[in-house]
Amino acid sequence: MKVTELAPAKLNLTLEVGEKGADGYHQVQSVMTCAALYDEVELESGTGGDITMTCDCPDLPCDETNLCLRAATLFFKKTGIACNGLHIGLKKRIPMQAGLGGGSADAAAVLRGLRKLYRPEMMIKDLERMAIELGSDVPFCVRGVTTMVRGRGEQLLKLPKLPLCWFVICKPDVSFSTAEMYKKIDEKKPACAIDALGLVKALEYQDMLEISDRLGNCFEAVLDPDSEIFTIKKKLLALGARNACMSGSGSAVYGLFTQEAEARAAAEELQKAYPQTWFAESV
């Protein structure tokens, strides 16, 4: 049997990072949503033998370090189901090292697909609990709806859906190491005025203008003032975005638009300087 799962890109509407705990993990608070920029995961069961994987991106290793393979191995281990052979085919569109959760989204898609193939009665919450062992963004990606995420990523509070809007997502050539970005947070301890609760209220009222006014990411506070991130943000605002923000620990930046035509035109214009630019509808 075969199933295909779409893995949407993750966007942080807000992102705050707290102190590092004794376990070495930082406590986070983030309002996350998804954009219609998708990887595609195809699962084929009953292939005989082991779990195998192919990917159309040559830069992505398809060995035991890959989150898709780790997700499949974890699923069979946790459920006690005997694997009768599984092949994972991955088509990549979400850029890597961008703060868009591509690897996490792919792993979550594997878990959702395996649930359909082998254990359809399993609750989504069971998958979310399993997913935290793979990474802090994976439980959210299993859920894939606008959510307040706290703790290490295991505390999920479903929020009202983000009203229809459009994103222009831009990935510059520069990439940021997540570990280095967290190290800078620990060293600089930046003060960030991020109104996550105000954003939650704006979602409840479905007020798009109030929502866009409250986008914020504490990682921007540890960037150099001349960082290309701020250049891209200014370009997006000049092209009509209601607001612009870096996602995750970077380096992708997104602009939020309330008019589809403006967003399409902005993406086309930005692509001239930044080829890795995408237009995507909210999910």
Catalytic machinery residues: 10, 137
Assess contact for 25 and 150: CB atoms under 8 A: no
Q: Round to whole Å and give the CA distance between 99 and 274.
A: 17
Q: Round to whole Å and give the CA distance between 53 and 88.
A: 5
Parallel/antiparallel/unpaired status of strands 86-91 and 51-55:
parallel
Q: How many residues are listed for the chain in this entry?
A: 283
Assess contact for 41 and 80: CB atoms under 8 A: no
Assess contact for 16 and 30: CB atoms under 8 A: yes
* Burial class, 199, CB count within 10 angstroms (exposed 0-12 / middle 13-18 / buried 19+): buried
Q: Round to whole Å and give the CA distance between 138 and 15.
A: 16
Which residue is it, tokens 């793979």?
134
3-state secondary structure of 105: helix
Q: Round to whole Å and give the CA distance between 209 and 214.
A: 9
3-state secondary structure of 183: helix
3-state secondary structure of 40: strand
